[in-house]
Structure 1
Amino acid sequence: MPDTFTSPAHPASGPALAASIRAAMRRAVALADDLVQAGLGAVSMIMGYQLPLTSRKVDVVLAGVHPVTGDDSYVIVELKSWTHAQSIQGSDSLVVVRRVGTVQLHPGVQVGAYCEYLSDALGAPADGDGLIHGAAYLYNAVDQDVSDVLAHRPTNQTRVFTKQQRVQFIDYLRAHLRNASGSGAADRLLASPVRASRHLLTYADQELKERSHFRLLDEQRVAYEMVLRAVERARTANRKTVVVVSGGPGSGKSVIGLSALGELVRQGHAVLHATGSRSFTQTLRRYVGQGSSRMRNIFGYFNSFMNIERNSFDVLVCDGAHGIRATSVNRFTPKIRRDRARPQIAELIEAARVPVFLLDEDQVVKPGELGSLTLIARYAAQRGLEVEVVSLHDQFRCGGSSTYDRWTKDLLGLHEGEPMKWAGDGRFDLRIADSPEEMEAFLADKQAAGETARMSAGYCWPWSDPQPDDSLVADVQVGRWARPWNVKSDRSVGDAPGSAFWATDPGGFGQVGSVYTAQGFEYDWSGVIIGPDLVARDGRLVTRRSESKDPAFRNRQDVSDEAADRFIRNTYRVLMTRGMRGTLLYSTDPETRAFLASLM
């Protein structure tokens, strides 16, 4: 066996972790045998290496010394037990695997994306004779049974080998590694500083106008490729397909949508992006549409399609599809249109040859938001349309911490698990503040250091209009500490930006945001004030609808207590998952503060 096996620290424990380790060891045995046969027994194997700032783990990273340069050298290896695979018509990046059934990413494309992502994160070259190389090893397959996979033109980062090509695989490893201890290289990789994650809006303009800046991994890339394939199928076969991309906060839904739109814009397709969020759409218009009315007009709203002819666009990306409503009618809709109003889902599906829905059903935070996979599938079935669904499971926000993602679900009762202690995982910084003053001071230091930080809260305080002197009212009061909510309207008030830009304009620090201005955005550090609408009693969090000041919750006939409970829990889930690096929590309730402290 190789000289060194390294497995990065993992906070989990118990039977599940033990089973995971055993499975990983079994997958690695085939590779370990080949390393020994190649005379590379001194090379280190890092199994289950977690890519920086994501929850995605690669099977194995081989760490060692380059045979020519003597520098550190790394080979990412994806181990596949596949025996049969064939490409999908219309795509050289997607395959179907026997006995798996679901669409999979081509293993060469998969490992190539890992190389590019890791190189970006470490600031290392990923081509030529660079530091990082990659290969997929189909150790159970023979060439003829995976011929479509092997037809993909390879690079040093996208090589694919079968068990028939074991000799070539060994030669490939020898070309990038020599038989010398890899422990130093492994340690340096695990301790390497990581570049900050790319914020979506920072690169949104270039993403649409120039080239892709985001590395899509695994299911993200599958979703992207399925959208492009559906567009091509609509063009060549006049076949309409509905694509649904489902995933939690930080899974990359918006990145997929903008990446696909960018590629389709560059190909000359008629595309549109729509949301139900004024803040998100207005911000996209500011970042992407500045100086270009054509680009600005790409971004619209779900209620903009009442009079659009069928299939007016090649692609319509519906981001935040949980916010789809019953109809597009509002108080400004003329009576003649109101009387002819169709379901909003019908308008969206019929507007484009390929409607794409980016969906997270757990982000429904107010009455009237109806978007769900069931709703989309039901209407598509009525029209005889095919629906393709891609589920995203990885975490690309919150430091890539799947542990924190689970912790918030368990804490808020959105998961079957009980609230659990936060032991930390080295990826995300979770803190409990003793006061709002402490929280604000911590976030102010981060903001002053050039990072982004915001405070948000549950809707438990009045939200006043500006005073006659055009100053904001400090409505959010906790003891002697008081701050205003973000501005209500799109018009800035003093140094405070309009509501749509609270999360992205530096002037937004100093006001408290709500779920309506935070949803869809991300910042480095997030401070969340848990109001009296969510308190800990008898070891669990319970909601208090009567403490909410949200006008949407006033009428019990329109919003049941059960629905209000879910909305409040979902609200705090959204607020707690905005931070890229860390989150601070503060509760206005002493018993809840003690409960949170007991979990740390």
Structure 2
Amino acid sequence: MENSALKKLSPLKPLTTDQKQLVANIIDFTISHLQTRHTPAIYTIYGDAGTGKSVVLSHLFQQIQAAARLDHSSPLYGSKNVFLVNHPEVLKVYKEIAGPFKELLKKDYYRPTSFINQIEKTGEQVDVAVIDEAHLLLSKADHYNNFYHDNQLIEIIKHAKVVIIVFDQYQVLRMKAFWTPERLQAIVNQYPHQSTYLTHQFRMTASDELLSWFNQFTAGEITPFPNNSRDHYDFRIYDNAELMRQAIFRRNQKVGLSRILSTSGYPSTLDGGKHYIVEGQFKMPWDQYNFTSTPWAEIPETIHEVGSIYTCQGFDLNYTGIIIGPIISQIPNTNQLQVNLDRVTDTEMFKRRDDLTNPVEIEQSKRQMIMNALNVILKRGVRGTYLYAHDPLLRTTLNQNYQTFLRRTR
């Protein structure tokens, strides 16, 4: 199967004119602050899922390292630079990218905790730290993962002259990595900084109106499907999860990279055993821990597993069959969704933290994280997205809206 993640993030992937200009601007920012500043400087790229943040970072880091290692005339020559990402599946892709490029080495890429613990021992400082998926940085101590400080971003800034990050508030998924734009800016505003906002959707061939429907849905509102929901995009609603599975299997046989994904709400424990999602005749196990160097989404055999937010985040799939699990249901007699916190089965998602004490803020944050996770998996399918809802009322409403849409657009 073609490694689509490698292709997507490769520095060989062409950039748009705007993306090239952004890379050039960040390099100018970096050189300026390395030459004139004694305090760290931070550049932040904001953008929703699919807006090209990671490919910009990949090109940026390749150009920085080419200047650092190959271009004797560059102000960046001889600089020491690292690329950090707190997502093991995405880290595998970046390490694989390093192979064909003589200016990129696998040792340039780290999980943030590994980098922080290593550099603290040496007392060194890097010139540039590039951070992908900064919304996944730990914002509290996590002894299980050998992080003993209060905030990974703060620790990285201590050990770098320039820090370049991408951030998406709608991909915050765990309390131990709890971020808001305000919490990020409270750190960034202490230093010379600059930012840019990416808005153009590159991943999905879906219309802007359907993407807007996804956003409204994950904001808790069920609205009619736009008339162009299927223009250049295969969007479907299913009232039978097994039939959806069969359709995804057929897509996978034809074009590859098609998977079933699900929200939380079904039995799931990291104990090495298989835990199944059952919906009528549908029965499939959750994704297994991936010990290989190949990302879960790129392994052919994972067509027989249900992907979670932790294995699909950051990756493109051709077609996705998405199960909206028991954690999300429709409020009777309304077109509103509710989050059922008592049905959450992801025990890692809501670990308590001492700096969050307001019960209202805590509950709102939990509900937002659930909807964030749904938003992320809704935006994996490049060519098509199929939906099935566990909640009978929501399933009926979505199917009725879909049938109305089909009659309206014939």
Q: Same fold (TM over 0.5)?
A: yes
- Structure 2: give runs of 5+ residues left out of the alignment: 69-78, 403-410
How far has the Cα of 1:401 moved from its partner?
A: 3.0
- Matches of residues 561-580 of structure 1 in structure 2 within 5 Å? 561-580=363-382
Q: What RMSD over aligned residues (CA atoms) do the two structures have, in Å?
A: 2.9
Equivalent residues of 2:47, 2:168 under 8 A apart: yes
How far has the Cα of 1:249 moved from its partner?
A: 0.6
Larger helix share, 1 or 2: 2
Equivalent residues of 1:326, 1:344 under 8 A apart: yes
Label 1:554 to 1:203 Cα distance change in 2 as closer, same or farther (>3 A).
closer
Counterpart residue type for residue 273 of structure 1:
F
Equivalent residues of 1:271, 1:316 under 8 A apart: yes
- Given candidates 136, 140, 152, the residue that maps to 1:323 is 136
Counterpart residue type for residue 59 of structure 2:
S
Matched, 1:358 2:358: no
Matched, 1:548 2:357: no
| C-alpha distance in 2 between matches for 1:217 and 1:430 | 30
Counterpart residue type for residue 447 of structure 1:
N
Specify the alignment match of 2:88 in structure 1: 278
Equivalent residues of 2:142, 2:176 under 8 A apart: no
Matched, 1:305 2:104: no
How far has the Cα of 1:307 moved from its partner?
A: 5.3
Specify the alignment match of 1:486 in structure 2: 287
| C-alpha distance in 2 between matches for 1:288 and 1:276 | 17
Tell me the SS of whatever aligns to 2:7: helix
| CA deviation vs aligned residue, 1:368-402 (integer Å, no higher than 9, x gap) | 223444334322433xx211110011111111632
| C-alpha distance in 2 between matches for 1:393 and 1:302 | 27
- Given candidates 387, 390, 400, the residue that maps to 1:585 is 387
Equivalent residues of 1:311, 1:350 under 8 A apart: no
Count the aligned residue pairs.
Answer: 377
Specify the alignment match of 2:300 in structure 1: 506
Counterpart residue type for residue 484 of structure 1:
P
Counterpart residue type for residue 436 of structure 1:
A
Equivalent residues of 2:287, 2:302 under 8 A apart: yes
Report the TM-score when normalising by structure 1.
0.58
Specify the alignment match of 2:246 in structure 1: 441
Label 1:549 to 1:376 Cα distance change in 2 as closer, same or farther (>3 A).
closer
Counterpart residue type for residue 250 of structure 2:
D
Equivalent residues of 1:250, 1:397 under 8 A apart: yes
| C-alpha distance in 2 between matches for 1:452 and 1:284 | 19
Specify the alignment match of 1:244 in structure 2: 44
| C-alpha distance in 1 between matches for 2:145 and 2:103 | 25
Equivalent residues of 1:244, 1:356 under 8 A apart: yes
After the TM superposition, which segments of 4 or more aligned residues of structure 1 sit over 6 Å from their partners?
Answer: 290-294, 554-559
Tell me the SS of whatever aligns to 1:315: strand
Equivalent residues of 1:446, 1:525 under 8 A apart: yes
The structure whose RCO (Cα within 8 Å, separation 6+) is larger is 2
| C-alpha distance in 1 between matches for 2:313 and 2:81 | 24
| C-alpha distance in 2 between matches for 1:328 and 1:561 | 21
Specify the alignment match of 2:200 in structure 1: 394
Larger Rg: 1
How far has the Cα of 1:203 moved from its partner?
A: 5.3
Tell me the SS of whatever aligns to 1:561: helix
Tell me the SS of whatever aligns to 1:260: helix
How far has the Cα of 1:267 moved from its partner?
A: 1.2
| C-alpha distance in 2 between matches for 1:539 and 1:394 | 29
Matched, 1:461 2:266: yes
| C-alpha distance in 2 between matches for 1:565 and 1:342 | 24
- Structure 1: give runs of 5+ residues left out of the alignment: 1-197, 493-497
Equivalent residues of 1:410, 1:420 under 8 A apart: no
Tell me the SS of whatever aligns to 2:143: coil
| C-alpha distance in 2 between matches for 1:262 and 1:321 | 19
Tell me the SS of whatever aligns to 1:539: coil
How far has the Cα of 1:534 moved from its partner?
A: 0.5
| CA deviation vs aligned residue, 1:181-211 (integer Å, no higher than 9, x gap) | xxxxxxxxxxxxxxxxx94422545x2xxxx
| C-alpha distance in 2 between matches for 1:554 and 1:380 | 26
Equivalent residues of 2:112, 2:137 under 8 A apart: yes
